[in-house]
């Protein structure tokens, strides 16, 4: 499956600004995942899918490649056996019984003392840096937090990175947690509207549709109102994503 007619390499997508096929950004890859075709983008710049997906069964990726690799099989007839089974993040390890983990260094007493001293110095530096950062944040937190919570809800729609993260964690149904469907109910949208929105999810995210509807139905709502509802739903993970909004960019 491909989302682009212009880019045949599935690990690239068509950039509307440069008018060229560019590689997917590796910063989005984490172990056990790979890029979806064309990073989920169509040639018109529209998003058709999330950027990445989990490796399929019997495939792995340690986060250094944009595509999952098929798990290796230990050769037979040469005395080797499978020491470690392949999983989503590491390949099969074959051997004669030795450990597949990197060998441990044998440390002398002097080595251990030196390492402990280095660790103490590093911890001291971290504590000083953390204290400085904490003091700075305390001075700025009182003005930044009200700015974000009091900002118009439209701010979420304008920040595409935050919106995409919310779509990825809220749109999927199941897994024993409340999703966009429940959020729409909390916003007093009828079940018929919710069902129709989810029936169209292949062309547009239900969450994006909901936020657009809320900003029209309740123009006075703020980011704080959305955070309150997410808290009632038990979706603290979504509230953490909301905290990434940049008030200095979107608010006056």
Buried/exposed 83-94: b ≥16 CB within 10 Å, e otherwise: beebebebbbbb
pLDDT tens, residue by residue, 143-171: 444 667 888 999 999 999 999 999 999 99
What is the rounded average pLDDT of the residues 98-108?
Answer: 50
- The C-alpha atoms of residue 219 and residue 49 are separated, in whole angstroms, by 29
What pLDDT, in 10s, does the model give residues 20-69?
999 999 999 999 999 999 999 999 988 888 899 999 999 999 999 999 99
CA 51 to chain centroid: 9
pLDDT tens profile 183-192: 999 999 999 9
The CA distance from 88 to 66, in Å, is 14
- Provide the CA 172 distance to its chain's centre, in angstroms: 14
Separation of alpha carbons 127 and 129, rounded Å: 5
Both tokens of residue 56? 């399929």
Let me know: does 83 contact 94? Beta carbons within 8 Å: yes
Specify the range with the lowest mean pLDDT, choosing from 95-109, 122-136, 223-237. Answer: 95-109
CA–CA distance, 229 with 156 (Å, rounded to integer): 15
Q: Model pTM?
A: 0.43
Q: Which two tokens stand for residue 69?
A: 């690799």
Helices 206-217, 191-199: crossing angle, 10 deg rounding: 140
What pLDDT score does 166 carry? 96
Average pLDDT over residues 128-142: 62
Q: What is the mean pLDDT of residues 77-99?
A: 76
Q: Which of 17, 65, 7 is CA-nearest to residue 41?
A: 7
CA pair distance 66, 64, nearest whole angstrom: 7
pLDDT for position 21? 96
Place of tokens 């990825």: 168
Question: Residue 43 and residue 45: Cα distance in Å, rounded?
Answer: 5
Instruction: Give the residue ranges of DSSP H helices in 92-243.
Output: 109-150, 154-158, 160-170, 180-186, 191-199, 206-217, 223-233, 236-242
The pLDDT value recorded for residue 93 is: 87
């Amino acid at each position: 499956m491909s989302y682009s007619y212009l880019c045949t390499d599935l690990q690239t997508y068509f950039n509307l600004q440069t008018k060229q096929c560019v590689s997917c950004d590796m910063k989005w890859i984490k172990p056990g995942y790979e890029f979806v075709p064309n990073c989920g983008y169509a040639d018109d710049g529209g998003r058709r899918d999330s950027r990445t997906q989990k490796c399929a069964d019997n495939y792995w990726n340690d986060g250094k490649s944009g595509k999952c690799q098929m798990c290796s099989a230990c050769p037979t007839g040469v005395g080797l056996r499978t020491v470690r089974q392949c999983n989503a993040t590491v390949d099969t390890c074959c051997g004669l019984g030795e450990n597949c983990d990197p060998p441990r260094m044998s440390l002398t007493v002097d080595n251990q003392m030196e390492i402990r001293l280095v660790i103490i110095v590093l911890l001291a530096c971290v504590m000083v840096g953390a204290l400085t950062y904490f003091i700075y944040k305390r001075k700025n937190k009182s003005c930044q937090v009200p700015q974000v919570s009091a900002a118009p809800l439209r701010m979420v729609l304008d920040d595409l990175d935050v919106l995409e993260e919310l779509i990825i964690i809220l749109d999927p149904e199941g897994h024993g947690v409340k999703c966009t469907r429940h959020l729409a109910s909390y916003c007093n949208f009828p079940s018929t509207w919710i069902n129709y929105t989810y029936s169209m999810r292949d062309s547009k995210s239900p969450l994006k549709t909901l936020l657009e509807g809320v900003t029209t139905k309740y123009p006075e709502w703020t980011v704080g109102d959305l955070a309150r509802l997410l808290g009632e739903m038990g979706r603290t993970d979504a509230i953490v994503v909301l905290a990434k909004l940049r008030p200095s960019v979107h608010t006056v």
